[in-house]
Amino acid sequence: MGAGRSLKRMGRLIGAAGLLGLVVGLLSLGLGAAVDGAAALFAAQPGLGWAMPVAGFAAFGLYRLLRVDFSWSTARVVKAAREGEEVPLRLAFAIIAGTALTILGGGSVGKEAAALQMGVAASGPLRRLAAPAQRRLLAPAAMAAALGALLDAPLAGIVFSFEVMRKRPAGPAEVACPAVAALVAWGVARMGGARLLPGSFPKAALVVPDEVLPALGLAVAVGLIAAAMARVFCGALHGLRRGLARLGAPLFALAVGGAATSLGLGYAEVFGYEGLRAYCGTGAAQIAAALAGDAPWWGFAAKAALTLLTLAGGYKGGEIMPVLAVGACLGAAVGEGACALAAMGGAAVPCSSGLAASGALPAILGFSAFFAACAKCPLAAGVMAAELFGPEAAAVSVPAIALAYLCSGQRGLYPTAIALRDDCGARRGVLG
C-alpha cells in the first residue's frame, strides 16, 4: 500500500509538472511575441524613445487595474517561492504587458527573468493537482520551465532553479518535477519557433591543442574583469534603487529613470551617437554582434548603463538577458584588448584560428562569467555554456566562471544569492 501510494503521488506530481510546462511554454511564446512586436515597433518609430516615462506610467496603471502590487519583481518572486508565499496569477498577465511596454519605450530589459515571474504566478492554480506535501515543488519547477524555454537551455533552467532557491534536491521528486516542466516547456517553445538568437550557435571546437594555455589565460582575465564589473553593476543597481526609492511613490522613480533614458537616447542622436539606440531592448542583438566579433569595445558600458537606468527606475522586465549581453560584450572587449597587446608583443593569441578568430571565444567567456557573478549561479552558467555553445566552450569557461563567482562579492541580482566569498577568498557568510 505504501509503495502504491507513493507511486500515485509521484504520478500526480509528474502530471502537474507536465501541465505546468505546457502552460509556461505557451505563455513564454506569448511573452516572446509581445516583446518582439514591441521591439519591431520601437525600431520602426525611433520617436517612441521619448515616450519612456509614459510607458512606465502605463505599466503602473495596468498593475493598479489588475490589482497587482507594483513592487513585484524577479527578486521578490524568487524570495516568495523560497518562503512558500503565494504569487498572484494576475502577475503573469501584468508582467507580459509591462515588459512589452518597457521595450516599446526603449528600455533595456529581457524576457527571461520576466518569464520567471510569469511562470511562478501561473504555477499557483496548478498546485492543487499535486499532493499537499509536494505543492511547494511547482514554483521552482516553473522557474526551470521558464528559463529553459526562453534560453533554449532546459538543463540550465533545472540547475538554475536549485541554485537560485539555494536548495539541494532531497529526493527523486524534487529532481523529476523541474526536469519534466523544463523539458515540456522547452519542447513547446521549440515547436513554436522560440530561440535565444536567430539561427544556431557555433559548437565546433573553440580551442586547438597549441592554443590551450593562451585560451586559459584569457579565461582567467575575463573572469577577473567580469567579477569587477559585476561588483560595479550590482552595487550601482542597488544604490540607484535605494536613491530613487527615497523619492516616495514608484511614479517618481519611473519619471526619473524614464526621463534619463529618453534624454540619453535623444542627446546621443544629436551628437552623432545613433548607435546607442541599438543597445535598447533585450540584448539578443548585442550577444549576436559580440559572438560575431562586431561589438564595439564600449558596447558593454552602453548596455550596462541603459539597463541600470531601466531597472533602477522600476520598469518591468527581466535582467537576465541584458546581463548576458553585457557579459558577452565585455568578453569581446577583453578579447580584443588581449589580442592587441599580444600582437604588439609578438606572442601567440587565442584569436588566431577557428571560431575564436571571430571573437566568439572571449564573448562566450564573458557571457558565462558575468552571469555567474551577477546571479551567483555558477553551475547554471556552466551548463548554459555547454547547451548553447558546446562542451569545448563550457570547459574553457570553467576558470572564468569560477573566478567571476568567487571574486564578485556579496551583492547579486537576487536576495537568495549565496554570498560565499569577498575579495577572492575572504569568507563572509552564506545566505540560506
**What is the pLDDT averaged over residues 23-41?**
93
The 10s digit of each residue's pLDDT in 145-194 is: 999 998 889 999 999 999 988 777 777 888 889 999 999 999 999 888 76
Q: For position 424, what pLDDT does the model report?
A: 63
Q: For position 83, what pLDDT does the model report?
A: 83
Q: Are both 2-191 and 209-427 of the same fold?
A: yes
Q: Which residues contact 282 (CB under 8 A, 6 or more apart)?
A: 35, 39, 103, 109, 110, 111, 321, 322, 325
Q: For position 377, what pLDDT does the model report?
A: 93
Q: For position 292, what pLDDT does the model report?
A: 85
Q: What percent of the chain has pLDDT over 70?
A: 84
**What is the pLDDT averaged over residues 278-298?**
89
The 10s digit of each residue's pLDDT in 195-213 is: 665 444 555 445 444 567 7
For residue 77, how many other CB atoms are within 10 A of its CB?
Answer: 25
Q: Output the average pLDDT for the chain.
A: 84
Q: How far apart are CA 221 and CA 225, in angstroms?
A: 6
**What is the pLDDT averaged over residues 84-99?**
91
Facing residues of 422 across strands?
426
Instruction: Using alpha carbons only, give the angle 252, 255, 414 rounded to the nearest 5 degrees.
Output: 75
The 10s digit of each residue's pLDDT in 43-60 is: 898 788 888 999 999 999
Residue 125 has pLDDT above 70, yes or no: yes
Task: Please name the CATH architecture into which domain 2-191 falls.
Answer: Orthogonal Bundle (1.10)
Which helix H or strand E contains 167, and what residues bound it?
Answer: none
Q: Which of 123-127, 240-244, 274-278, 294-298 has the lowest mean pLDDT?
A: 274-278
Q: For position 4, what pLDDT does the model report?
A: 65
The 10s digit of each residue's pLDDT in 345-360 is: 655 555 544 444 445 8
Residue 318 has pLDDT above 60, yes or no: yes
Say if residues 109 and 103 touch (Cβ distance below 8 Å): yes
pLDDT band at 319 (very low <50, low <70, confident <90, very high): very high
Q: For position 265, what pLDDT does the model report?
A: 78
Residue 372 has pLDDT above 70, yes or no: yes
Say if residues 250 and 70 touch (Cβ distance below 8 Å): yes
88: cell is 498572484
Q: Rounded to two decimals, what is the model's pTM?
A: 0.89
Q: For position 271, what pLDDT does the model report?
A: 61
Say if residues 307 and 109 touch (Cβ distance below 8 Å): yes
pLDDT band at 225 (very low <50, low <70, confident <90, very high): very high
| Domain covering 209-427 in this structure, CATH number | 1.10.3080.10
What ranges do the domains of the chain cover? 2-191, 209-427
Say if residues 362 and 394 touch (Cβ distance below 8 Å): no
Residue 266 has pLDDT above 80, yes or no: no
422-428: long-range pairs with CB below 8 Å, 24+: 424/227
SS3 state at 421: strand
**Selected residue with higher pLDDT from 328 and 207:** 328
Say if residues 401 and 211 touch (Cβ distance below 8 Å): no
